[in-house]
Amino acid sequence: MIRFRAALAAAASVLLLTSACGSGDSSDDASGDGPTTVKVSVIPIVDVAPIYLGNQQGFFAEQGLKLDLQSAQGGAAIVPAVVSGQVDFGFSNYTSLLIAKSKGLPLKVVAAGAGSTGVQGKDFGGVVVKAGSPIKSAKDLAGKRVAVNTLNNINDTTVRASIRAAGGDAKNVKFTELAFPDMLAALEKGNVDAVQVVEPFLATAKKNGGKVIASNYVDTAPNLTIAGYFTSQKTAGSKPELVKKFAAAMQKSLKYADENPDAVRKILGTYTKIDPSLTPSLTLPKFPTEVNSASLDTLSKLAVQDGLIKTAPDVKDLLP
Amino acid sequence: MTAAVTANATGRGRGGRRHRPIPAWALGLTGLLCLMAVVELVPRTGLVQERFLPPFSEMVSALVDQAGTSAFWQALLETLRGWAIGLAIAMAAGVVLGIVIGGVPLLRAAMSSTIEFLRPIPSVALIPLAVLLYGTEMRSTLLLVVYASFWQILLQVLYGVQDVDPVARETARSYRFRPLTQVRTVIWPTALPYVMTGFRLGAAVALILEITGELVIGSPGLGKQIAVAQTSGAVASMYALVIVVGLIGVVVNVIARTTERRVLRWHPSVRREVFS
C-alpha cells in the first residue's frame, strides 16, 4: 500500500511538473466581515493533535480563521492538493518537503509541527526489536532487515544516522518498506529483525514485550523537528495575510499543546481511533513553536548523504 | 471463505440424498455461520495472535461501539451517497452515449478504438489526477466511481443496441418512425436486458471504487474510517468497518438483482427463472 502511494506521489509530482496547474482557488483572502475558511490537509496521527486542539481552544477563530480540517492518507494526497491550491496548507515531514523542493515543487514551510522529545529511549518514535532478540543496540543493526514506513525518506535516513552514531556500518542495513500498522505483525513473524515505529504502535510494541533499542530521531540531531505545516509558494505569495494569521494561530496551538499534554491525549479520541486505554501510555512528541532550521540542514545533509537527492535544496528558500 | 464454500457443498450433497432440497438462504446462512466460527476460533486457539486478528465477537462489539457514534453513520451516509450519485451519473451518461454511439454505425466505428483504449485504464491510476483536480474531497472519489462504472454500462448498452433485430429496425425506419420513437419502441426493449446487466456490474464496481477512493485519497466515508482505524492501530474497529463494507456489498447486489428482475419481468430470461 505504501509503495503504491509512493508511486502515486511520484506520478502526481510528474503531473504537477508537466502541467501548469492553477485550478480552483479554494478560499479567498480575508475580505472584511466573517471568518475566512482555511482548508488544511492533515494525516490522522498523533503529530497533528495541536491543530485540532488549537481549533477547539478557539486560537484560529481569534485570528478570524475558520478551519476546515481534511484528513488525508499521506503526502501522496496532500502535496498535490496543496500545490494545486485545492487546500491552503498541508502537513508533512521535512524530508518529504526537502525531496519535493529539490524536484522543483514550489513549497514553503509556514509553521512547525512536531519534533523529537530529545530524550534517549523516551521519544515518540524508535527502533524496536522482539523480546530476546540478539540485537541490543543500533550498532547491531548492520546486515539486518529493518522495516520503515517509506523507503528513501526520513525514517531510513535517521535510522542510518542512529547506526552511525552507535559506531555501526550504516551501509549494510537492509531496509524494507512496510506500513506502520503491519510492522509489529511482521516483527512477530520474523519477516524483519527490527522495525522503526512511531506512536501509537510504539506503545503497543512496548506493551507486548518489544524492546526499544534506539531513538533514531534523538540520535540524528538535538531537538530534531520532524514535520511541519507547509503551503505552496503561490498561496504564500498571493495570500500573505492568511499565511501570517495561520502561522500565528498554529504557534499558539503548538505552545498550548506542549504545555497541556493531558489535553493532547484527550483530543486524540476525536480524530483518531486510538484505543483509549492506550492513550495514557503514549509518548507524545514535542511540539516546537519555531521551525528549527538546523534540523532542516541536518535532514538535508542526510538526504544527500544517503542519495535521496543529488544536491541539497536551498533550505532558506523553503523556510518562511 | 473456503469454509463457506465447503459448508455449502456438503450441505447440498446431503440435501440431494434426502431428495428434500435445503433452501438457498439456509445454505447461505450456514456458510456465514461457519465463517464466523472460523474467525472466532482461529485467534482464540492462538493460530493467529489476537492483537493482529481479533476474534469475531470482538469485531462485533467494536461494531456496536461504532454504531453508537454519529461519525459512523455520517461516514456510512457519505459512502452510500457517493456510490449512488456516481452510479446515477454513470448510468445516465452510459445509456445516452451508448444509444447514440451504438445507433450511428459511423460513430460507432470511429469511437471503438478510443473506447478500447480508455476502458482498460484502471480507475485507481487516475487518483493523482483526481486529487489534482478536486483535492481530497468527495468529488475526487466521485470521478473514479463514475469513470469505472461508466465503461461497464456503456459497453453493455453498445452490445444491446447492436443486438437489435435489423429487420425490426428497417421496418421502423420504413414506417418513418422518428428517432426518439425508434429508440423507445425498437432499441430500448432489446437493449434493456443489457442495460440491466450493465447496471448490476456498474453498481458493484462503483462500490469498490467508492471505498478504494476513500481509503487511498481520504475523502469522507467508510473507507476513510477504515484507514483512520488502521493508522490508529485499532484492529478490531478496522475489521468491524470492513464487515460493514461487506454487508453494503451484499445489499447492493441484492438491490441490483431485484431491480433487474422487476424491470425485466416480461423478459424470457427472467420468466424462465421463475417457472423452473
What are residue A211's DSSP bridge partners?
A129
Average pLDDT over residues B23-31: 85
| B154: CATH | 1.10.3720.10
- Which range of residues forms the domain containing residue B151? 56-275
Please answer yes or no on whether A204 and B217 come within 8 Å at the CB atom: no
Distance CA A262, CA A236 (A): 34
Decide: B55 and B115 in contact? Cβ < 8 Å: no
More confident residue, A266 or B267: A266
Question: How many CB atoms are closer than 10 A to CB A3?
Answer: 12
Reply yes or no on whether the pLDDT at A26 is more than 50.
no
- For residue A201, the chain B residues in CB contact (below 8 A) are 233
pLDDT tens-digit profile of A105-156? 888 888 888 888 888 888 888 888 888 888 888 888 888 888 888 888 888 8
A→B contacts (Cβ < 8 Å), by residue, are: 4-5, 8, 11-12, 15-16, 19, 21, 23, 26, 39, 41, 43-45, 70-73, 76-78, 80-81, 84, 86-87, 179-181, 184-185, 188, 200-201, 204, 208, 271-275, 278
Q: Which three cell numbers stand for residue B132?
A: 489534482
In a domain, B80, yes or no: yes
ipTM: 0.73
pLDDT at B178: 87
Please answer yes or no on whether B216 and A188 come within 8 Å at the CB atom: no
pLDDT tens-digit profile of B67-107? 888 888 999 999 999 999 999 999 999 999 999 998 888 99
pLDDT tens-digit profile of A169-212? 878 888 888 888 888 888 888 889 889 998 888 888 888 888 88
In a domain, B235, yes or no: yes
The band of B148, judged by pLDDT with boundaries at 50, 70 and 90, is very high
Residue identified by cell 428482475 is: B261
Total number of domains in chain B: 1
Distance CA B181, CA B183 (A): 5
DSSP annotation of A286 reads B
Written as one string, the DSSP assignment of chain B is -HHHHHHHHHHHHHHHHHT-PPPHHHHHHHHHHHHHHHHHHHHHTTSS-TTTS--HHHHHHHHHHHHTSHHHHHHHHHHHHHHHHHHHHHHHHHHHHHHHHHH-HHHHHHHHHHHHHHTTS-GGGGHHHHHHHHTTSHHHHHHHHHHHHHHHHHHHHHHHHHTS-HHHHHHHHHTT--HHHHIIIIIHHHHHHHHHHHHHHHHHHHHHHHHHHHHHH--SSHHHHHHHHHHTT-HHHHHHHHHHHHHHHHHHHHHHHHHHHHHTTTSHHHHHHHH-
- Residue B137 has φ and ψ, to the nearest 5°, of -85, 180
In a domain, B23, yes or no: no
Reply yes or no on whether the pLDDT at A25 is more than 50.
no
Average pLDDT over residues B244-268: 88
Residue of A11, A41, A73 with shortest CB distance to B128:
A11
In a domain, B40, yes or no: no
pLDDT tens-digit profile of B189-207? 888 989 999 999 999 999 9
In a domain, B16, yes or no: no
Chain A closest CA to B128's CA: distance in Å? 5
In a domain, B79, yes or no: yes
> Which candidate in A14, A46, A73 is best for mutational testing of the B interface (most B CBs within 10 A)?
A73
Provide the mean pLDDT of chain B. Answer: 85
pLDDT at B97: 93
pTM of the model as a whole = 0.77
Number of inter-chain CB pairs under 8 A, A vs B: 103
In a domain, B21, yes or no: no
Q: Is A314 exposed, middle or buried (0-12, 13-18, 19+ CB in 10 A)?
A: exposed
Distance CA B132, CA B49 (A): 41
In a domain, B38, yes or no: no
